[in-house]
Structures are given as C-alpha cells and as structure tokens.
Structure 1
C-alpha cells in the first residue's frame, strides 16, 4: 500500500469516525512479518500533525519498516516516535545507524560491512524477536566466531531464515551447539567440512543455498551426520566427488539445483550426468525436481541424458557463441 493510498484510506476512515484502534486493526489485518509493513518515516513526514486523530492512528501502527538512506533520515526526530514499533529494518550504510534503537524488529538486513563494534551489538538482548537476518561481509576475527556461534547455537531462538556472506568454521573456543528454529540458510561461501557442522546445528533446516565451496588450509574434522529434514539444496559445484559427499548426508532431499563454478570460466570441468544419476539414485532416492546451469565443450551424450534419471527430462540445451553447449532448466520456482 503506497503513501497516497494510505493517506486516502486514513482520511476516509477518519471521516467515518473510526477510532485509531479500529483503523490500526484494519491496516494490520492479515499482516505477516516481512510481508507487509509501512514506511514509518514517510508516514510521519507526510501525515503527522495534520490533526489529533491522524496522529493517534500513526502512533498505533505497529508493523512499520524503516530504511534510512542518509544520516538525515537516521537522525530525524520522527524516528524516536516509531523506533520501537519497527518490525523491518533495512540498512545500507551501517555507519550512521544505531540498530539497537529498533529492539522489536523481526527482520534485520545489513547490506554493507559492519565494524567489529557494530557486530558485537547484533545479539539477542537487543533483538529478541528476530525472525529474519541478512548480513553483509563479516571480517574473520574472534568477534566473528562469537557471532557465528550465536547464530548456530540458538543465540536467536526465533530465527527462521538467515543470509550470510562467507562463513568460517567453528573453532575449539566457539563450538556450535544447536539452532532448531533455523529453516532456511543462504550463504555465499564456506568450506566443505563446514557443511556437516551446519547440518548438525540446524536440525530442522529445510532450505540451503550454497553459492561457493571455499578452499581451506585448516585441518577441519568433519562431523558425520544424517540430516533428514533438508528438502531443497542449491550448490555451485559440478565436482562429482563434492556432489556425492554433499548429497550423502541428506537422504530426503527432493529438490536439487546444481550450477557450474563460473569463477573458473572455460576451465570448468563438464558435469558427468551419467555418474550424477547413479549418485542421485543412491543418495537422494526421494528427489523429485532437478535444476542445472552448466556448460560443456563438444558433449557426446546430449540425446541420452534424459534417460539417465527421471528428473533429467527437463534438461534443455543450446549452443552459445563461444562454441560450448549450455545445459539448463527453466525453474518453476526459486530455492
């Protein structure tokens, strides 16, 4: 609902004589955190002090979003009036926002680097209702290890979905315990051994989006785990050994999306669909939907690929300008 529509709605309800509470109840009918919210600063700048009744309505709206685009926005006197009613906070420049002012947020998003001091403030006592968390790049440090330990040790008991950049493995001083509330993870990169730590910690995880498998020189002992709740997995690797290792832990997987590691360009090895089919049958017998995005030069088994596995029947091919053949599927929905 945009500003003009909200204004028209408030004005109509005001003329009908509805109370502030009645208008608020209508505005928030069917509200779900992270789905519908109203820009607090725009509302207050546009409508506050028009009259007492509208002021009362504004002061009753609880599902407010806030995205400060400048220090002027962050320090606007109106922010004090609605800070504790903000449920969705989106921050592109953390250096001029004190996120701890917004203690009732359900959805917290950072799109830029946080200082070590700022990172220490992202903890449960400041954000007790956190359901959705998005973090930008986090520098490897003891503070980062403590932060990741909180994420994966139930430091945010209501956390449902988390988006992270690079994830470092737990060390002996900051071991991960359990975060049963987490259902969805989107992580740009982490080393293969960290995968088992994630599965062990997030016992109820159903969605994992893993963009890059990072190399590591650290000797990390992987934890054997059989995770039965993971249903959807996105991985950016066609290293068949890695694929087999990853899938061997998640027997109930029913959606898989495999993408080439484009960082390696033309040096990326082709995906062996025949060998992959055997792995899928053995490791993930419940698989119902397969997506892929990869390329190969001079493939020899294009016509037989759909015969390897039922889920391969959706695979399409096209010749790209550099002479390679692209293998892809049209996604019906994203992971």
Structure 2
C-alpha cells in the first residue's frame, strides 16, 4: 500500500473536482488525505454540478471560472490565483468589492465587458486595490478613472492597446514592474511627449501593428531593458529596417542582451539570403540568431532562434 506522503504528491496533479469525485467516496483514508491537502485548483463552468466539490472551496488556491452565472467568493477564503473568462458586469463589480480576494497574487480576466465596472476594476488593479497582486493579464485596459500606484505588480499583459496613454500610465502606476506584454497592439498611436523612465522593467514583448517611430518612443522609456521580443509585419526595406533597429538599440538600450523577432515581409527570398550576414553584423543581438524561411504568395518569414 502506498504511503500517505506519496499519495499526497500524486494528488497534487489532480483538480479538486477530480479528487472529491474519484477518491473522496472510497474510504476514510482517502477522505482524510484529500481533506489534508492545503492548496487545490478548481475549474468551474456553468454546466457542471459542484457537489461534493464544495467541501474543497476553503482550500482552493487556484480558481478558474468560465461563464458561471452565480458565485460566492466568501466560500473561497484562500484564493491566490483567479482566472475568469467572460464575467458579467455585475461580476466585475463583485471582483473588486470582495474582501476575500485581498490576498490575490495572480489575476487573469478575458472577454471583459466594456462598462464602467470594468474601468473601476482597472483602477483597483493599478491603484493597489489588490496589495499582494504580482501578475495580471487583461484583454484591454480602460483609463477612465484616476490611478495611483500598485507597487506589488511585477508582470502585466494587455491583450489590446491602442493608446500611448495606457502604456505610460502602466509604467507610472507599476514602479516595480519587470515584465510587460502587449499581446496585440492595434495601430498604437504614440506621441513624442512620453517622458517617463522606468528603470525596473527588464522584459518587453510587443506584437501587432506599430511604426518604427512608436518603437523608438516606447524603448526610450525603458533604458534598463535586457530582453525584447517583437512580432509584426515589416513594410520598409528590410536592410533599412534592421539598421534603424540597430541604431535604436545602441541609443536607448545599452543593456539589451537578447532580441527575439518574428517578422513577415513581402520580398524575394533569394535576395534576403544574400544580405543575411550583413544584417547579423548590424548589432550583437542579431549575430547568429536570424533565420529566413520562404512562405507562399511572395512572403518571407524572418525570425530568431
């Protein structure tokens, strides 16, 4: 018979639902093992029955919710990580008003409604409403209300950003931020008036439609960046584009150690192969990392390995 310590280690790989439905009914030994587990993870959907899983609620550390109409956070007194897909407007208000989420360390919300309640939640996130929050993933950010600061935040991911004001306010409200991720940038418009400098941000991930001018303005705010990852379509001549990137890195990013990219480019594959070595000599971060792959319809993929 397996010792309890080994069974506890095995049980860590199962969700609270699986444990309470598969093991809990077996016998007293398994019930005591399941009841002794200090941290559980649970996924709740609207079409599932939650009995007898409700017994685990006080020990759920990681909770994922998808299209659940009603939920009482007072039953979940130990939540440290919350992922919510498609919350309603009322549920958005419930998140920022619940005292049971005070110790939240990670928060991910997808398909948020575009309402004042969402804007108010964003204000709470970036104004220390969750004083232990270290990582936050949002599909968009609304700056309708005034923010202060959230010193605990270390990593922020924004699904869609189209205003330089949001970028600047995130930097100002998160002085200890070390990673910033814009998963999609929809024609971001930046002004030359960005004057903030963020010395703690070390890793930046950009994806979408962004001009070289905007790249310059963004990177000028991040002098201590050591890692940069970008993914978008290049419309300028490739050699000119890489020369511009090299100049930008030399001017604004003296500590840059690693640059990863994935560019789509309309051009002749054979011509790019000829200038590949020239591109790699433009900056140390390009050396021995660039790869070129021929795609259909005259397109070429330039990426790093």
Range into which the TM-score falls when normalised by the shorter chain: 0.7 to 0.9
Contact 1:37 1:88 survives alignment (8 Å): no
Matched with 1:139 is 113
Counterpart of 1:233 in structure 2 is 204
Secondary structure of the 2:77 match is: coil
Q: In the alignment, what sits opposite 2:19?
A: 43
Partner of 1:62: 38
2:257 match: 288
Change (3 A) 1:320 1:215: closer
Q: Say whether the 8 Å CA contact 1:161–1:185 is kept in structure 2.
A: yes
Q: Which residue of 2 aligns with 1:327?
A: 302
Measure the CA separation in 2 of the matches of 1:308 and 1:216. Answer: 27
Unaligned runs of 5+ in 2: none
Tell me the distance in 2 between the aligned counterparts of 1:167 and 1:98.
26
TM-superposed deviation, 1:142 = 1.5
Q: What does 1:292-311 align with in structure 2 at a 5 Å threshold?
A: 292-298=261-267, 301-311=275-285
Is the contact between residue 119 and residue 141 of structure 2 (CA under 8 Å) also seen in structure 1? no
Q: Secondary structure at the match of 1:108?
A: strand
Paired with 2:300 and 2:25, the residues of 1 have a C-alpha distance of: 63
Q: Which whole-Å deviations, capped at 9, do the CAs of 1:190-220 have from their partners, x for residues lacking one?
A: 2222111001111111111112233589x99
Q: Measure how far apart 1:139 and its partner are.
A: 2.2
**Partner Cα distance (1:257, 1:63) in 2:** 34
- Name the SS for the 1:308 alignment partner: coil
Which of 88, 111, 120 in structure 1 is aligned with 2:93? Answer: 120
1:78–1:268 distance in 2 versus 1, CA, 3 Å: farther
Runs of 5+ in structure 1 lacking a partner? 1-10, 15-22, 262-266, 331-335
- Find the aligned partners of 1:72 and 1:211 in 2 and give their Cα distance: 31
Measure, in 1, the Cα distance between the counterparts of 2:294 and 2:39. Answer: 49
Report the RMSD for the aligned CA atoms in angstroms: 2.8
Q: TM-score, normalised by structure 1?
A: 0.79
**Structure 1 residue 238, shift from structure 2 partner:** 4.7
Corresponding residue to 1:155 among 125, 129, 133: 129
1:38–1:63 CA distance, 2 compared to 1 (3 A): farther
Deviations 1:129-168 (A, max 9, x none): 2111110122222211110001101111111111110112
Shift of 1:56: 2.2
Tell me how far apart the structure 2 counterparts of residues 116 and 216 of structure 1 sit (CA, whole Å): 27
- Residue 208 of structure 1 corresponds to which residue in structure 2? 180
> Structure 1 residues 280 and 47 mapped into 2: Cα distance closer, same or farther (>3 Å)?
same
**Within 2, Cα distance between the matches of 1:235 and 1:134?**
19
What's the counterpart of residue 178 of structure 1? 149
1:6 corresponds to: none
Does structure 1 residue 27 correspond to structure 2 residue 3? no
Partner of 2:29: 53
Structure 1 residue 71, shift from structure 2 partner: 3.1
Distance across 1 between alignment mates of 2:193 and 2:100: 33
TM-score under structure 2 normalisation?
0.86
* In 1, Cα distance between equivalents of 2:13 and 2:104: 16
Query: Would you say how many aligned residue pairs link Structure 1 and Structure 2?
Result: 294
| CA deviation map 1:167-205 (0-9, x unaligned) | 12x23xx21111111111111112222111001111111
Task: Name the SS for the 1:147 alignment partner.
Answer: helix
Distance 1:126 1:220, change over 3 A: farther
1:59/1:249 Cα in 2 relative to 1: closer, same or farther (>3 Å)?
same
**For 1:104, which of 78, 82, 90 is the aligned residue?**
78
